[in-house]
């Protein structure tokens, strides 16, 4: 059983002044599963992700990756473990082209970072990887456009492409469809699910769209005021009375006001 | 097809950016002879180091090229990598003083001097590197400015006066005969020209290399680069080492060329001048640095002439006007085919406050 757990938090806590954004959260993520985290705005989901990816240091508690304590790992080491993340608020290199954003993501974990005069395009591995990812996320036609000039929906695809490019083992996806046109959402979710299934990856997804969450998830963790309110399969969570009373109703309300 | 979009013919495109510089190089190498012809001198006179317009032009261009090398190295640090340092004058001044002292007081050969200048350049970069992970943004700029100010004060101290010439400056540095800028002006001119273009060429290649692309990414969004797995510290260190070596060698040229090495080259004023040159040309363009250096040199010449005492005030006016109305500089504005004032000001403000692109 324990061997199955790829990512684990123990009493993870993060305070912002008097506010406890993540309140002693202990979660176990099973390898090769699709695990969603839901919760209303301000529940602490993004903060939780920031603690997992090393963007924020916890006030207390630990993060374990394959049983190893990674709580105090420098930020740039996380990716080398095979943990990648994408951001709720698009986080790209705005003045670089689309293909270059992806190529930089692909190159990061390779061994060619310290070549001082050969043109980057001669490193075919990353070129080809970037081209393949661009095809996957449907941005091949925009490859040479500066990233800042993309419409929001395409920037979300780029954000996802940058996550996929290094082929991480664990994907932390913070609302990948945030602000996207509704009709584009299923396509993107299918893409993520396909990537997860084909590569036997572990996906941790924050998502507000309950239809999506119920459809794709193996497990769901419900967060509320920084705490874990409930955990289990989609069926468990749907059936959970506490969740229903305290939260599911309001969440659907959130979705309505969001869009 | 998608693949072609990502990989379109790097070979043919690669050489295009070098055609104009190559033409300029040939033109500049021929310029003294052209000037001689136009002013009624014989081209043979240029080879014989005759006084006249051709020699004057070479002198002016040597000064501009030395400035251009310094500006290029600063553009690599601030414009390409987004690392805000106000200590860049230290690199130039240390190279100049070390060259001068070793040649004059210790009688070292030029080769040995160059060797120690290189070692010292790397040490200076490492010194900045010690500061690097500890302070960010504007604080890094201020700490590096402090380091540079320490040097400025030390070279003027009376205790070191016998070596540095204290506040008067270091005089009487003996250049090797073959490179004597007075008696072998053309050789000195061509050496400076070759070095300038070698630096430019290497910087161009560097910016397109895997390392250089990461440096640009650091300027754009360092946090994201870290998250992708890049240990950005090492990339910044590489840039500091390259820039320090470049600027130190420019300092060597300065020491060989100028009759006096003034302590002012280590001052805050000198730093501001370096920044102004890169701003005029356009931060992050590389091409802008030599253009900015040329304009700056001519500008100071004429401002001194027209305004005398208040020339530095006028230079300040130029500064403000640039930041406000040409934030991308000459080359940057040309590349964007427009001034883009709002975006440009935001971008420049981000760079000059060490916040990256906002
Ligand atoms: N850097 C910060 N400084 C202070 N407070 C913060 C910071 N980041 C988050 N918070 C607060 O912590 C709480 C949790 O925020 P978080 O962004 O983690 O929620 P979330 O579940 O991701 O919400 P959403 O669904 O809106 O994205 C919020 O009250 C937020 O205002
Ligand atoms: Mg969030």
DSSP state, A110?
Answer: S
- Torsion-angle region of B128 (φ positive above 0: left; ψ -120 to 50: alpha; else: beta): alpha
CB contact under 8 A, A115 and B213: no
pLDDT value for A255: 45
Indicate whether A13 pLDDT > 50. yes
Give yes or no: residues B266 and B309 share one domain: no
Q: Do B298 and B190 have their domain in common?
A: no
Whether B102 and B124 share a structural domain: yes
Helices B210-228, B232-257: axis angle to 10 degrees equals 140
Residue B232 corresponds to which tokens in the numbers above?
């950005």
* pLDDT of A251 strictly over 60: no
**Whole-number CA gyration radius for chain A:** 18
Q: What is the mean pLDDT of residues B205-220?
A: 96
- Chain A 211-250, CB below 8 Å of chain B: which residues? none
* Spatial separation of the C-alpha atoms in residues A200 and B15, rounded to whole Å: 44
Which DSSP helix (H) or strand (E) runs through A204?
strand A202-206
Angular region, B42: left φ>0, alpha ψ -120 to 50, beta rest: beta
Q: Measure B269 CA to nearest chain A CA, in Å.
A: 32
Please determine, for residue B31, whether its predicted confidence score (pLDDT) is greater than 90: yes
Distance CA B72, CA B88 (A): 11
Looking at the fold, whether B311 and B336 belong to one and the same domain comes out as: no
Residue whose C-alpha is closest to residue B194's, from B65, B79, B98: B65
* Interchain proximity B5–A95, CB inside 8 Å: no
- Pair (B337, B315) in one structural domain: no
Tell which of B281, B315, B350 closes a domain.
B281
Assign 3-class secondary structure to chain B. CHHHHHHCCHHHHHHHHHHHHHHHHHHHHHHHHHHHHHCCCCHHHHHCCCCCHHHHHHHHHHHHHHHHHHHHHHHHHHHHCCCCCCCHHHHHHHHHHHHHHHHHCCCCCHHHHHHHHHHHHHHHHHHHHHHCCCCCHHHHHHHHHHHHHHHHHHHHCCCCHHHHCHHHCEECCCCCHHHCCCCCHHHHHHHHHHHHHHHHHHHHHHHHCHHHHHHHHHHHHHHHHHHHCCCHHHHHHHHHHHHHHHHHHHHHHHHHHCCEECHHHHCHHHHHHHHHHHHHHCCCCCCHHHHHHHHHHHHHHHHHHHHHHHHHHHHHHHHHHHHHHCCCHHHHHHHHCCCCHHHHHHHHHHHHCCCCCC
DSSP-based three-state secondary structure for A133: helix
Ligand sitting nearest the alpha carbon of A40: 1
B10 domain residue, yes or no? no
Ligand 1 atom closest to the CA of A45, numbered from 1: 21
Q: What span, in angstroms and rounded, lies between the C-alpha atoms of B336 and B344?
A: 10
Please report how the helices A124-137 and A152-164 are oriented relative to each other, as an axis angle in degrees rounded to 10.
130
- A5 touching B (Cβ < 8 Å): no
CB contact (8 A) between residue A75 and residue B227 = yes
The answer to the question of residue B7 being in a domain is no
Residue B271 lies in a domain: yes
Determine the pLDDT at residue B7. 38
- Is the CB of A68 inside 8 Å of chain B's CB atoms? no
* Entry field: residues in chain A: 259
- Residue the block writes with tokens 């253009």: B291
How would you classify the pairing of strands A5-16 and A68-69?
A: unpaired
- B67 and B214 in a single domain? The answer is yes
**What's residue A249's pLDDT?**
58
Rounded distance from Cα A15 to ligand 1 centre (Å)? 10
- Residue B36 above 50 pLDDT? yes
Q: Check CB contact under 8 Å for B10 and A121.
A: yes
Ligand 1 proximal residues by C-beta, below 6 Å: A 16, 19, 21, 39, 41-47, 88
Best probe of the A interface among B4, B5, B82, B204, by most A CBs < 10 A, is: B5
Does the distance separating the beta carbons of B2 and A143 come in below 8 Å? yes
Single out the residue of B51, B70, B48, B47 nearest to residue B59, CA to CA. B51
Residue B355 or A210, more confident: A210
* pLDDT digit string, tens, across residues B107-132: 999 999 999 999 999 999 999 999 99
DSSP secondary structure letter of residue A159? H
Q: Locate tokens 């001068």: which residue?
A: B100
Lowest mean pLDDT among A137-146, A241-250, B174-183, B224-233: A241-250
Ligand 1 atom 30: residue of nearest CA:
A42
CB of B53 within 8 Å of any CB in chain A? no
Residue B1 within a domain: no
Q: Whose CA is nearest to atom 5 of ligand 1?
A: A16
Q: Are residues B203 and B227 in the same domain?
A: yes
B211 interface with A at CB cutoff 8 Å: yes
CB-based contact, A72 to chain B, within 8 Å: no
Establish if B15 belongs to a structural domain: no
Q: Does one domain contain both B140 and B25? A: yes
Question: B244, B121 in Cβ contact below 8 A?
Answer: yes
Atom of ligand 1 nearest to the CA of A17: 4
CA of A132 vs chain B CAs: smallest distance (Å): 8
- What protein residues have CB closer than 5 angstroms to ion ligand 2? A 45-46, 88
Geometric angle at alpha carbon B229, from B209 and A119, rounded to 5°: 10
The rounded mean pLDDT for chain B is: 91
Q: Tokens at residue B94, please?
A: 């240390």
Structure tokens at B333: 């504005």
Average pLDDT in chain A? 90
3-class DSSP state for residue A60? strand
Cα B312 to Cα B320: distance, rounded to the nearest angstrom: 13
Domain count across chain B: 3
**Alpha carbon of A89 to ligand 1 centroid (Å):** 12
Q: How confident is the model at residue B12 (pLDDT cuts 50, 70, 90)?
A: low
| pTM, 2 dp | 0.92
Strands A83-86, A68-69: pairing is: unpaired
Exposed, middle or buried, A69 (CB in 10 Å: 0-12/13-18/19+)? exposed
Q: A68 C-alpha to center of ligand 2: Å?
A: 26
How are beta strands A5-16 and A19-25 bridged, if at all?
antiparallel
Is B266 part of any domain?
yes
Indicate whether B134 belongs to any domain. yes
Q: Best mutation site among B221, B228, B340 for testing chain A: the one with the most A CBs within 10 Å?
A: B228
- With a CB cutoff of 8 Å and minimum separation 6, the contacts of B244 are B73, B91, B121, B122, B124, B125, B128
- Please report residues of A whose CB lies closer than 8 A to that of B226: 75-76
Q: Which domain holds residue B339?
A: 328-358
CA A167-A172-A173 angle, to 5 degrees, is: 105
Which residue has tokens 């913070």?
Answer: A174
* B201 shares a domain with B172: yes
pLDDT tier, B356 (very low <50, low <70, confident <90, very high otherwise):
low
Please check whether residues B59 and B147 belong to one and the same domain. yes
Length of chain B: 358
Answer whether A120 sits within 8 Å of B209, measured CB to CB.
yes
A133-187 pLDDT tens trace: 999 999 999 999 999 999 999 999 999 999 999 999 999 999 999 888 888 888 8
Closest residue by Cα to residue A31 from A230, A214, A206, A200: A200
Q: Are B197 and B301 in a shared domain?
A: no
Task: Name the β-bridge partners of A224.
Answer: A227
CB B221 within 8 A of CB B356: yes
Do B108 and B172 share a domain, yes or no? yes
């Amino acid at each position: 059983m324990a061997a199955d757990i790829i990512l684990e938090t123990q009493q993870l806590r993060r305070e912002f002044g008097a506010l406890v954004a993540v309140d002693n959260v202990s979660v176990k993520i099973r390898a090769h599963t699709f695990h969603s985290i839901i919760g209303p705005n301000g529940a602490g989901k993004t903060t939780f992700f920031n603690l997992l990816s090393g963007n924020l240091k916890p006030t207390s508690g630990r993060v374990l990756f394959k049983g190893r304590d990674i709580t105090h790992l420098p930020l740039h080491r996380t990716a080398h473990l095979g943990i990648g993340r994408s951001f709720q608020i698009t986080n790209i290199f705005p003045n670089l082209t689309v293909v270059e954003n992806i190529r930089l993501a692909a190159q990061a974990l390779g061994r060619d970072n310290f070549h001082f005069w050969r043109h980057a395009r001669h490193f075919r591995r990353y070129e080809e990887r970037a081209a393949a990812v661009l095809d996957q996320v449907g941005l091949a036609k925009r490859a040479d456009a500066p990233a800042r000039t993309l419409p929001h929906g395409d920037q979300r695809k780029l954000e996802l492409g940058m996550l996929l490019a290094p082929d991480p083992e664990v994907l932390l996806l913070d609302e990948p469809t945030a602000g996207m046109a509704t009709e584009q959402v299923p396509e993107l979710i299918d893409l993520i699910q396909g990537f997860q299934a084909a590569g036997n990856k572990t996906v941790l997804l924050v998502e507000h769209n309950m239809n999506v969450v119920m459809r794709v998830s193996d497990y769901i963790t419900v967060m509320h005021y920084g705490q874990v309110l409930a955990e289990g399969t989609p069926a468990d969570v749907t059936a959970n009375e506490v969740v229903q009373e305290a939260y599911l109703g309001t969440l659907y309300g959130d979705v309505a006001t969001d869009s | 097809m998608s693949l072609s979009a990502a990989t379109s013919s790097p070979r043919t495109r690669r050489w295009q950016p070098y055609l104009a510089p190559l033409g300029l190089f040939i033109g500049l190498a021929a310029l003294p002879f052209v000037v001689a012809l136009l002013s009624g001198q014989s081209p043979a006179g240029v080879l014989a180091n005759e006084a006249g317009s051709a020699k004057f032009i070479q002198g002016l261009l040597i000064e501009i090229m030395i400035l251009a090398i310094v500006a290029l190295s600063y553009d690599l640090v601030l414009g390409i990598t987004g690392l805000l340092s106000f200590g860049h004058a230290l690199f130039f001044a240390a190279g100049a003083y070390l060259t001068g002292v070793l040649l004059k007081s210790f009688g070292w050969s030029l080769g040995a001097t160059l060797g120690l200048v290189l070692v010292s350049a790397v040490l200076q970069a490492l010194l900045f590197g010690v500061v690097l992970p500890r302070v960010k943004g504007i604080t890094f700029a201020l700490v590096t400015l402090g380091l540079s100010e320490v040097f400025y004060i030390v070279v003027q101290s009376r205790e070191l006066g016998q070596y540095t010439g204290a506040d008067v400056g270091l005089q009487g540095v003996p250049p090797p005969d073959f490179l004597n800028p007075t008696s072998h002006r053309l050789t000195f001119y061509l050496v400076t020209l070759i070095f300038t273009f070698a630096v430019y060429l290497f910087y161009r290649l560097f910016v397109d290399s895997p390392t250089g692309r990461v440096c640009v990414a650091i300027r754009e969004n360092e946090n994201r680069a870290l998250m992708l797995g890049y240990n950005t510290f090492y990339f910044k260190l590489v840039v500091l080492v390259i820039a320090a070596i470049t600027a130190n060698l420019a300092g060597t040229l300065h020491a060989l060329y100028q009759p006096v090495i003034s302590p002012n080259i280590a001052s805050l004023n000198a730093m501001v001048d370096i920044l102004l040159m890169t701003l005029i040309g356009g931060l992050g363009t590389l091409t802008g640095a030599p253009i900015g250096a040329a304009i700056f040199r001519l500008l100071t010449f004429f401002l001194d002439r027209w305004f005398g005492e208040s020339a530095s005030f006028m230079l300040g006016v130029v500064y403000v006007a640039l930041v406000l109305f040409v934030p991308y500089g000459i080359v940057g504005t040309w590349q964007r085919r427009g001034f883009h004032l709002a975006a440009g000001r935001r971008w420049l403000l981000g760079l000059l406050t060490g916040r990256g692109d906002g």
